[in-house]
A = this chain, B = another copy of it.
Amino acid sequence: MIQIREATAEDWPQIYPFWSEIVEAGETYAYPEGLTSEEARDLWMYDHVVVAVEGSAEDEHILGSAKMGPNRPGRGSHIGTASFMVSPAARGKGLGRTLGDYCVQWHKDNGFHGIQFNAVVETNTTAVRLWQSLGFQIIGTVPDAFDSTSHGRVGLHVMYLPLT
């Protein structure tokens, strides 16, 4: 059974392998490539970070992670944002949806007025369809803004879900 719990600093060594595998694959995220574990940690482990885990407390495996928080400071802080990483080895278990549902509820519980995704790669159709199924709409698409390994230059969607 998959559960979601808050991440702790001790979780990072289990997150980093799939985090870096996903970034290096070059299909979904515009993080710098070739980061050390410490550098990557500083880009992921802030705001509210959760992990999706399987197994008993004694033999727990981290299958995915999500981070969420305000999309902008100050006068933009009522809109949230989030990022998601699901271990490629754990695909097909519905983890994206489980983490996405958690993310929407977390933003509601914390009084956010909406959730904005700033850069959803248009060829990442699994993600695009998942967010659409949660109610997100494509606000617009910046053309050729992401250099995908297998597709070349593709667009980045700005997606938005109003919560009030």
Q: Which residues of A contact B (CB under 8 A)?
A: 23, 26, 29-33, 71-79, 113-114, 116, 118-119, 138-148, 153, 156, 158, 160, 162
Contact = CB atoms under 8 A, between A and B. Distances in A.
Oligomer copy total: 2
A33 B74 CA distance: 6
B113 A79 contact: no
A31 B38 CA distance: 27
Q: Which residue, A138, A158, A162, has most C-beta atoms of chain B within 10 A?
A: A158
A34 to B, nearest CB: 9
A147 B78 contact: yes
Given A31-B74, A139-B139, A143-B160, 14 more contacts: A29-B74, A30-B73, A30-B74, A72-B145, A75-B147, A76-B156, A79-B145, A113-B144, A113-B153, A114-B143, A114-B144, A118-B118, A139-B140, A139-B158
A118 B158 CA distance: 10
Contact of A146 (B75, B138, B142): B75
Q: Which residue, A32, A75, A156, has most C-beta atoms of chain B within 10 A?
A: A75
